[in-house]
Amino acid sequence: MSGSDWAVEHTPVLLPEVLAALNVRASGVYLDATYGRGGHAGAIVEKLVADGRLLCLDRDPVAVAEARARFAADSRVSVFLAPFSALAACADHISPGLKFDGILFDLGVSSPQLDDPSRGFSFMQDGPLDMRMSKGVGPTAADVVNGASEAELIRIFREFGEERFAPRIARAIVADRASKPFERTLELAEMISRVARTRERHKHPATRVFQALRIHVNGELDELEAALNAAFERLVPQGRLAVISFHSLEDRMVKQFMRRHASTDPVYAGLPFVPAHAAPKLRLVGKAIQADSEETARNPRARSARLRVAERLNEGLAA
Ligand SMILES: C[S@@+](CC[C@H](N)C(=O)[O-])C[C@H]1O[C@@H](n2cnc3c(N)ncnc32)[C@H](O)[C@@H]1O
């Protein structure tokens, strides 16, 4: 397969912006925590010389198989099948305590995952109600829809989908599944269309419930929380953290994380002396970056993307 064949399956979002954000140096050490189809990873590798290094992670075995085939002959690249919350263990596998000059998270699902009905992510195509990124591992969306209590379903739809019709949808699920469990994506999507409206133009009424189930099934917010902390610990001074998120729950978490570490511990605010452990550890690099109209016209997926960037400070230096 040629380089361009790999790229057609998933168009990387904000590519020049990510490369600028990571400030890629030819001999640097980088981590792409969400390989997908390697659009960003491939562009990072192109900037590396022989002693540069790139670690790629993905929890999806399909993505990892492609990465391994693509970079089999490239000793600069190491590929791990792992959730990104385990990034420190992956780094240690290469060299104990290994730190990075730049770490990228491009969150959510890839186009090949969304477009493959057998993965069950899409409410537009019929498939098994699955939604697991780590293909075949752990409970499926069907297990949740058919097994969770009504109260638990309401919590999931509210917390992870900000779905205002959560109680109505949960009630309908519990009533319907008593006669026949939900097995297919379209069964669920069509039922939601019957009981709930959407006030958002161009949005299918099942959008928020599908987002909520996906986040719940994959433990996405817990994963992100753990991974941001691990990434922060593994950045060298001046190392860059770049995170692209696609919905407000993730973006809020990233924004709050970066702001918290870019501020003095509030216990010491206003005091003349701030000890090193309480000083800011990150510097925010610009504001959130969004795709321009040219990119969103070319790649509608980029519409909701937000890139936030921060730089690790030398220990004890204020921003
Ligand atoms: C938006 S895609 C990344 C696309 C990639 N940047 C590219 O240009 O091809 C997100 C990828 O991250 C993976 N992913 C999501 N959450 C993950 C997690 N917690 N741990 C590891 N991989 C994860 C998904 O399986 C998916 O392949």
**Per-residue pLDDT for 90 more than 90?**
yes
Chain position carrying tokens 């790649």: 299
Distance CA 102, CA 242 (A): 8
Find out whether the beta carbon of 40 lies less than 6 Å from any atom of ligand 1. yes
In short, whether 110's Cβ falls inside 6 Å of ligand 1 is yes
The pLDDT confidence band at residue 319, using thresholds 50, 70 and 90, is: very low
pLDDT of 4 over the 50 cut: no
Residue predicted with more confidence, 117 or 200: 117
Amino acid 299: pLDDT: 93
Q: Residue 265: pLDDT band by 50, 70, 90 thresholds?
A: confident
The span from the CA of 290 to the CA of 303, in Å, is: 8
Structure tokens at 182: 């939900």
pLDDT of 3 strictly over 90: no
Mean pLDDT on 155-178 = 97
Residue 8 banded pLDDT, cuts 50, 70, 90: very low
Identify which has the larger pLDDT, 159 or 136.
Answer: 159
- What is the per-residue pLDDT for 277? 87
Go through the chain and tell me how many residues it has.
319
Q: Average pLDDT of the chain? A: 93
Cβ–ligand 1 distance for 28 under 6 Å, the answer no
pLDDT the model gives residue 274: 87
**pLDDT (0 to 100) of residue 121:** 96
DSSP characters for 76-126? TEEEEES-GGGHHHHHHHHSTT--EEEEEEE-S--HHHHH-GGG---SSS-
Percent of the chain whose predicted confidence (pLDDT) is above 70: 96
Compute the average pLDDT of residues 149-176. 97
Model pLDDT for residues 32-77, shown as the tens digit of each residue: 999 999 999 999 999 999 999 999 999 999 999 999 999 999 999 9
Whether pLDDT at 5 is above 70: no
42 lines ligand 1 (CB under 6 A): no
Q: Quote the pLDDT of residue 201.
A: 74
34 Cβ inside 6 Å of ligand 1: yes
- Decide if 313 contacts 258 (C-beta within 8 A): no
Q: How far is the CA of 140 from the centre of ligand 1 (A)?
A: 18
Angle at the Cα of 250 from the Cα atoms of 248 and 251, rounded to 5 degrees: 60
How does pLDDT run across 100-122, given as a tens digit for each residue? 999 999 999 999 999 999 999 99
pLDDT at 193 over 90: yes
Q: How far is the CA of 84 from the centre of ligand 1 (A)?
A: 9
Q: What pLDDT score does 190 carry?
A: 96
Examine the pLDDT at 317 and tell me if it is beyond 50.
no
Give yes or no for residue 245 CB within 6 A of ligand 1. Answer: no
Q: What percent of the chain has pLDDT over 90?
A: 87
Tens of pLDDT, residues 181-190: 999 999 999 9
Per-residue pLDDT tens over the stretch 209-236: 999 999 999 999 999 999 999 999 999 9
Cβ atoms of residues 57 and 127 within 8 Å: no
- Model confidence band, residue 200 (pLDDT cutoffs 50, 70, 90): confident
